[in-house]
Amino acid sequence: MTDSRTPLVVVGDALLDHDLCGRAERLAPDAPVPVVHGTRRSSRPGGAALAACLAAADGRPVTLVTALGPDAASDTLRELLAGRVTLVEVPLEGTLSSKTRVMAGDRPLLRLDDGEGRAREATPQAVSAIAAAAGVLVADYGRGTADVLRGALAHTESPVVWDPHVRGRPPVPGVRLATPSAQEARAFARRLDDRDSGETPGLRTAARDARALVGAWRARAVAVTLGDRGALLSHGETPLLVPTPAAATGDPCGAGDRFAAAAAGLLADGALTEAAVQGAVHAATRYVAEGGARAVAVPDGPRTAAEPAGDGDTTADAVRTAARVRAAGGTVVAAGGCFDLLHAGHVTLLQAARRAGDCLVVCVNSDDSVRRRKGDGRPLVPATDRVRVLRALECVDAVAVFDEDTPERILGELRPHIWAKGGDYARTRLPEQPLVESWGGQVLLLPYLDGRSTTGLARRAATAPAPTVGRPT
């Protein structure tokens, strides 16, 4: 992606988010709670920091104005943001807020919150960044950054998108677009009318709330986000419903940030409000379908510039590679198999798969998985060596090893746009096809060279005559 789009300044409260992802297949014997095992821990920017990273992934320079301190969580977040956005810090009183989600697949089971730090005061650098901005997104998470910079935000002449939080104050008057969720709009509207009945948010309620908030906030427009139904845009009169382009299943965490970041960027580029909201709905739908906030997550642990060893656990590297390409707007392709005795048929398939996208992740059956599928005599080549050989191919960007009989679990972590298989599967519905299609991915069949197979190579090698003693082999 190039920096050809209008720069954006994101103002708001940064958070540090952690995910503990694993599988929950049974309950604990001592309490009726799920047992999560096989966990992988990852960290990512959250709050305004996530919104800034998502705006940067659209291919525009982004400056993040946020409160950070000398605490460990702030230092971790600085590392995660390095090279992604330009940081302008205001002082933080207390420690940076962070949250940890315990996940079973895409389903959150528990969230742990730490830190209650708040922005202490504005700085000249922060005020100058807002004054010079071509477009501003306020990602308010109720922790004070928007409050201490409220004067600068009220006087900027650039288009402002304000993503409010019920713990924060209303937007400054005159914002181009406010983007509350339906629940947030309902909560703000209740504050305007003490006689409110407390009805459940729906289209009629959202339309009424949006109209009320346009007037109360003196906003030029309010877009109430409705999850998988899209968004409702109001200028104060008859609202416009902007539906999602397709059903998207997956982790919706951060979808509101994706919506607001896309809308702010499009408005900064000069788009009309209706076009910006439509583009934001499409962006948020893709975001959920492609794995949500995990696209900007980084697996915890030592980080080095060197590639992991071919005989090590390469799954984390594969997930990180897929997330990086996805965050940059690229197409992730995955292919899978045993790849025992790599031959020309394998190479042809992998080269074609790589040409279909921007990176290729190869999912390889572990030794136990191969043994269950092929019998006790297989694999002929152990997984460590198979991984080394595959990683040596120019067309392969990363390799992940899975121990199950089918690759659904690892595909759920990678969420590729394309799952490539050989043309010999043309008459077979793959068991993983519904999973890939659930996030908008596609199964793609590619040509396969006839007459090449590991079984055939092994049989010919076993029946070949022994070489004559003394003659070269």
The C-alpha torsion from 364 through 369 and 373 to 376, rounded to 10°, is: 120
Residue 379 preceded by cis peptide, ω within 30: yes
Cβ–Cβ under 8 Å, residues 293 and 254: yes
Q: Choose, from 251, 257, 317, 397, the residue flagged as catalytic.
A: 257
Burial class of residue 3 in the structure, from the number of CB atoms within 10 Å of its CB (0-12 exposed, 13-18 middle, 19+ buried): exposed
Q: Under a CB-based contact definition with an 8 Å cutoff, are residues 210 and 232 in contact?
A: yes
**CA 194, CA 150: separation in Å to the nearest integer?**
27
Helices (H), 269-396: 273-289, 315-327, 344-355, 367-374, 383-392
| Length in residues, the chain | 473
Rounded Cα–Cα distance for residues 383 and 367 (Å): 6
Encoding tokens for residue 10?
Answer: 């994101």
- The counts of H helices and E strands in the chain are 16, 20
Residues 469 and 455: their CA atoms lie apart, in Å, by 28
Q: Is the Cα torsion angle 53, 55, 59, 61 positive or negative in sign?
A: negative
147 classed as catalytic: no
Helices (H), 135-272: 145-148, 150-155, 182-192, 203-217, 255-268
Strand partners, 242: 231
From first CA to last CA, the distance across the chain in angstroms is 52
Cα–Cα distance between 412 and 18 in angstroms, integer? 18
Report how far apart, in Å, the C-alpha atoms of 361 and of each of 217, 294, 354, 367, 411 are. Answer: 48, 17, 9, 19, 10
Catalytic residues: 257
